[in-house]
Amino acid sequence: MIKKFNLLFVTLFGIGKIKYAPGTFGSLFAIILLFDLFHLLKISPNLIFVVLVVIFLYSFFAINSFIKNNTNKDPNEVVIDEFIGQSLPIYLYEVSHGTEKEFNDAIIFYIIIFILFRFFDILKPFPINLIDKKYKNSIGVVFDDVIAGIYVVLILILFMIFKTYFL
């Protein structure tokens, strides 16, 4: 039973089994789910944070279990890492400045976050490429996407600084 649950978990309930661009669909799933949680259902950011931390921590066990007997240590069907990496900039955007985000502004930022995350996840600039090559386990699978998410956060911070001082 735990093996089946881990399969559903790491593939985001089968999204990772999509033939073309499963990582993009995993990221899109994160965008849609988090938008719904924050803006439609108005779930507490603290509760969302706890759930994201649990997903992050459990992902190490689930991914290791899934790839244990695989020759490919970062299979395409594992998309929980995209979910985690995509969730980081979205969550930080939502809790930044302690203000409620307008619906239309949030949609624009979610699209920007999605595009930037996919760009960094696919391009894999330093040190993402180093982690991706060096760690052939759940740490490598998850942390290359976490760093891509951090890059998105840094770009958004730079944008907001630029906007504040120059526009």
pLDDT (tens digit per residue) in 56-98: 999 999 999 888 877 666 678 999 999 999 999 999 999 987 7
Q: Which of 123, 165, 163 is nearest to 147 (CA)?
A: 123
* Cα 32 to Cα 28: distance, rounded to the nearest angstrom: 6
A 10 A CB-CB count for 137 gives 14
Are 8 and 64 contacting, i.e. CB atoms less than 8 angstroms apart? Answer: no
Q: Is residue 148 in a domain?
A: yes
Number of domain units in the chain: 1
Round the CA-based radius of gyration of the chain to a whole number and report it.
16
With a CB cutoff of 8 Å and minimum separation 6, the contacts of 68 are none
Domain with 55, as residue range(s), is 2-8+41-166
- When mean pLDDT is compared across 29-38, 61-70, 110-119, the lowest value belongs to 61-70
Give the whole-angstrom CA distance, residue 7 versus residue 13. 8
Does residue 24 fall inside a structural domain?
no
129-151 pLDDT, tens digit each:
788 777 777 888 899 999 999 99
Residue (of 156, 47, 155) closest to 106 by Cα position: 156
Task: Let me know if residue 31 belongs to a domain.
Answer: no
Mean pLDDT of 101-118: 93
pTM, to two decimals: 0.91
Q: Is residue 25 part of a domain?
A: no
**Residue at 19 is within a domain:** no
Residues of the chain above pLDDT 90, percent = 66
Q: Could you tell me if residue 33 is inside a domain?
A: no
Kindly state whether residue 108 falls inside one of the protein's structural domains: yes
Q: Is residue 28 part of a domain?
A: no
